Structure 1
Amino acid sequence: MSNRNVKQPSRRAFLGGAAAIGAGVVTSSTAQAQAADPLIVNPQDWAQSFGDGVDATPYGLPIEYEADVIRRNVEWLTADTVSSINFTPIHALDGTITPQGCAFERHHSGAIDLKKSDYRLMINGLVDTPLVFTYEDLERFPRENHVYFCECAANTGMEWAGAQLNGAQFTHGMIHNMEYTGVPLRLLLQEAGYDSSGKWVFVEGADASSNGRSIPMEKALDDVLVAFKANGEALRKEHGYPVRLVVPGWEGNMWVKWIRRIEVTDEPVESREETSKYTDTLEDGT
């Protein structure tokens, strides 16, 4: 695409603008300045000495001046942080991809330490051959990369009874949008030979809460992902390392972390999370 018709500012005009700022002159093309800005006209320390070497931080970290861009908890929200949530600092982020280190967390019994070498995923129930996969087994399957949006069922909950906290982070920060890498769940179900009478799958986490949810088979065979990477790197501990479920378009509590078991069933299991949590009572009491 040609840019011949785009008028570029001349070097002389640029230098003139800088000189005008230094002299405290206000023009239509420069910001208003009352006096010479020392950060412009004086030599600065950072321009007269060496910076850090390439191995100063083997794993890159945000610079200290961005220390306020962090996930935040609300102390009075729950009895303990091991069964709580923190919030994505969406007010300080740009673009469409949420950094893993800023993506909100939701735990039922705390983020657990689980090594890849100790990881196992079982598929049982209405299948021809019950199977147990190691992490290395999952890596051998064809993998896919997709950008998926996750939202907690309680997002905007701080406004349900009127504004309880100020700021977008607390009212709308139970969200993230990340690129996930993993194996389509349908491939694992096909490997086990799921029975056509199985209309549901029950997925269960390895943490102490044994968080589990029932998912219709139609959805499980569609776009559900057994994921082990996010944004090009391994899952973070708080996001279900080493393996989690990703259920696109469905509320965040379905995205079971540290997933350990997938059972093919003929009906919903109606687990604790499907009865005491994440449910609405109908008018007839069911």
Structure 2
Amino acid sequence: EKNVARTLSNPQGEPRTQHGRTPHHLLQGTITPNGLHFVISHAGDPDIDPDKHRLVIHGLVKRPLVFTLDALARYPMVSRVTFVECGGNSAPLFSKAPIQASVQALHGLVSCAEWTGVRLSTLLEETGIDPKAKWLIAEGADAPALSRSVPMTKAMDDAMIALYQNGERLMPGNGYPMRLLLPGWEGNMNVKWLRRIKLVEAPAMSYYEARTYAPILPSGQAYQFYFLQEVKSFITQPSPGLALKGPGFYEISGVAYSANGRISKVMVSTDGGQRWGQAALQAPVLSKAFTRFRMAWNWNGGPAILQSRAWDEAGNAQPTRAQIVAQRGETKAVPPVTAFPSQHYNGITSWAIDGKGEVTHVYA
């Protein structure tokens, strides 16, 4: 189907920030196909010869090591299903007035896939970690050599050097030939085109962690080194652009996910949060992965406001939009595909349905 495609902000591939957003409103299930997985890069995608590419691990280690792609392929592999979400996903919901756009434009910078690769802890242990190492700096092979600082606790937990995505080699826009995968953590930290890991005592305070992904809060403090993509959900069907064709039975469906583990429940409201019903969760419900929720709804043809709210197994509840903006502030309306007014929006999204069945974005 020709209309099932990513929206590209930079179709000519110019060396600047570019996005490709997932069309969640046209998908079902929980796994995002590789060709529809969101992509974002800050200077285009590098053209890498896999035979010449190297991963260097050095710094506070006893034995600095260099790995080729063939060498990594000889290590024990692991697979896990997990979501990756850009810290700027859903940022248009920080605007003072609701932006009229599709779920793809508003929430399209998150996707979920099965990733396969080598545990980072396996490689780090082989180097002989110096006890003074508390952080690592991961660097990509793109034009700006994008780098992010990662605590060693995460590196030794569930971090992976990902080589495969949904069973095939990584797509170029998702880091071919290898990327760092940090399940549940801010997308920018999952460094693509990975070429260097340096173990250090303190974070590097690189450009992207000190500026781009560190917005200033109303308090004047920087929202910095906040890694987790917290519990969140949004309704994909119905949603803007998918008008209802008269009264009757419909299925309300969407996705929920959390960096803090499995989704425990999702509640759905059709009257702007006055009353709630519990949605069914599609099995299997996996940790740090998309969970599809569904609820039957008999629309009477009158006005309605659809909302979803998720909880995770750690007891965290998805906040309301009012709770989010009270802490982080609001911004002027901006085009949803080109700007990052703030980071880590995980509040409730509201869709209004009028008597004609048209769906719009509202704050409720």
TMscore range, shorter length: 0.7 to 0.9
The one of 170, 176, 179 equivalent to 1:235 is 170
In structure 1, the residue corresponding to 2:35 is in which secondary structure?
A: helix
CA distance in 2, matches of 1:246, 1:125: 20
More divergent stretch after superposition (273-282 vs 211-220): 273-282
What is the aligned partner in structure 2 of residue 84 from structure 1? 18
2:211 is the counterpart of 1:276: yes
Q: Does 1:100 align with 2:34?
A: yes
How many angstroms apart in 2 are the aligned matches of 1:177 and 1:116?
A: 25
Take 1:231 and 1:120, find their aligned partners in 2: how far apart are those partners? 23
**Counterpart Cα distance in 2 of 1:285 and 1:152:** 21
Distance (Å, rounded) in 1 between the aligned partners of 2:28 and 2:63: 47
Task: Give the helix-richer structure, 1 or 2.
Answer: 1
Partner of 1:135: 69
Superposition pairs of residues 51-200 of structure 1, within 5 angstroms: 66-74=1-9, 82-161=16-95, 162-200=97-135
Query: Identity, % of aligned pairs?
Result: 42
Q: CA deviation at 1:285?
A: 5.1
Structure 1 CA distance, aligned partners of 2:20 and 2:92? 12
| Structure 1 residues 211-261: Cα deviation after superposition (integer angstroms, max 9, x where no partner) | 100000000000001001000000011111110111111010111000000
Secondary structure, aligned partner of 1:218: helix
The 3-state SS of whatever aligns with 2:40 is coil
Tell me the SS of whatever aligns to 1:187: helix
Over 2 Å off, 4+ runs = 162-165, 280-286
Task: State the shift of 1:280 in Å.
Answer: 3.3
The CA distance in 2 between the partners of 1:69 and 1:156, in whole Å, is 20
Q: Is structure 2 residue 138 aligned with structure 1 residue 203? A: yes
Given that 1:82 and 1:111 are in contact with CA atoms closer than 8 Å, whether structure 2 keeps it comes out as no
TM-score (norm 2): 0.58
Residues 1:221 and 2:118 aligned together: no
Residues 1:251 and 2:180 are matched in the alignment: no
Once the two structures are TM-superposed, the CA of residue 118 in structure 1 deviates from its matched residue by: 1.3
Q: Which has the higher strand share?
A: 2
**Structure 2 runs not aligned, ≥5 long:** 223-364
Shift of 1:272: 0.8
The gaps in structure 1 that reach 5 residues or longer are 1-65
SS in 2 for 1:116: coil
Q: Separation in 2 of the partners of 1:114 and 1:253? A: 20
Report the alpha carbon displacement of residue 111 of structure 1 after superposing the two structures with TM: 1.1
C-alpha spacing 1:112/1:221, structure 2 compared with 1 (3 Å): same
Listed one character per residue, the Cα deviations across residues 142-180 of structure 1 (whole Å, up to 9, x for unaligned) are 110000111111111122213334110001111110000
Amino acid at match of 2:54: R
AA at the equivalent of 1:251? E
How far apart are 1:81 and its partner, in Å?
A: 6.8
Aligned length: 218
Normalised by the length of structure 1, the TM-score is 0.73
Q: Quick check: 1:123–1:261 contact (8 Å CA) kept in 2?
A: yes
RMSD: 1.7
Contact 1:204 1:210 (C-alpha < 8 Å) held by counterparts = yes
Matches of 2:15 and 2:184 in 1, distance apart? Answer: 27
Alignment of 1:17-36 (within 5 A): none
The question of whether the paired residues in 2 share the 8 Å contact of 1:144 and 1:184 is answered with yes
